[in-house]
Amino acid sequence: MRWIRRFVFWLVFLDLVGTALFWGVTRFMDQSRSLNGGTGVVFYTDNNKDAAARIAKAVNLLKAGKLDRLYMVGGHRPQEGWLGSQEMALIAARGSGLGGRISADVESRDTISGLKNLAREAKTKAPGEIVFVSNCMQLIRAKVIYATQPDHQPETLGVCPPGDLNPVDIWRRAHYEAGAWVLYALPETWQDKILDRLRGADESPG
């Protein structure tokens, strides 16, 4: 039984060390000081506190002239009749008074579909330099996924709010990201089946 306790100890220890290292590395993802216009692509999240932080960061950059426009993606929940990106756009518009420069992708339900749509429609819906606005941990994944899309822009920047320093929340987000990376590595048909179950699927016409 002693070897089991040792195994569990080292498993937990390595997990915590890995989480801390991942969190530490992602602290360098914020490039707010390098911005000089472009479109801020703000990713939807079900976490209200995190969503508010992303919107506030994006709106402040828009008001300061660091971004030219905002484009919200994700949060489409067909089974619930919910359009998360549209809701975030409305909040940003009310908070900034710049609704004419804020729009939303109302079809994407996750990071992958949001980035696929963005790569396909960036020239018309997100012109200029692309600036991802999200949790610092998600930015790495978003940049990797976007870089694999046809017609993607060659370079993107990332912006993230300071984030929650609660160790439990950091651990949860890091493991959420680990699960998201696993999902991304799966075949596309498997991804769709899992997301249909988790996020809802559009009803087929007819």
pLDDT band at 204 (very low <50, low <70, confident <90, very high): very low
- Tell me how far apart the alpha carbons of residues 15 and 128 are, in angstroms, rounded to a whole number: 40
- Tell me how far apart the alpha carbons of residues 127 and 129 are, in angstroms, rounded to a whole number: 7
CATH (residue range 29-164):
3.40.50.620
In the predicted model, is pLDDT for residue 173 greater than 90? no
Q: pLDDT by residue (tens digit) across 110-150? A: 898 889 989 888 777 788 889 999 999 999 999 999 998 88
Q: pLDDT by residue (tens digit) across 62-107? A: 999 999 999 999 988 877 777 889 999 999 999 888 999 999 998 8
What does the pLDDT read at residue 55? 95
Tokens linked to 93: 């518009």
Over range 36-63, report the average pLDDT: 92
In the predicted model, is pLDDT for residue 201 greater than 50? yes
Q: Which of 45, 48, 134, 62 is nearest to 96 (CA)?
A: 62
Q: Which of 110, 113, 102, 123 is nearest to 84 (CA)?
A: 110
Between these two residues, 105 and 196, which has the higher pLDDT value? 105
- Tell me how far apart the alpha carbons of residues 87 and 91 are, in angstroms, rounded to a whole number: 6
In degrees, rounded to 5, the angle at the alpha carbon of residue 174 between the alpha carbons of residues 170 and 177 is 140
In the predicted model, is pLDDT for residue 198 greater than 80? no
The whole model's pTM is what?
0.86
What does the pLDDT read at residue 200? 67
Mean pLDDT over the full length of the chain: 86
Q: Which of 28, 18, 92 is nearest to 62 (CA)?
A: 92
If you average pLDDT over each of 8-22, 40-54, 160-174, which comes out highest?
40-54
- Tell me how far apart the alpha carbons of residues 69 and 42 are, in angstroms, rounded to a whole number: 11
Pairing state of beta strands 82-83 and 76-77?
Answer: antiparallel
Give me the residue spans of the domains in the chain.
29-164
Over range 8-20, report the average pLDDT: 84
Q: List all residues 6 or more positions away from 126 whose beta carbon is below 8 Å from its beta carbon.
A: 39, 41, 69, 71, 118
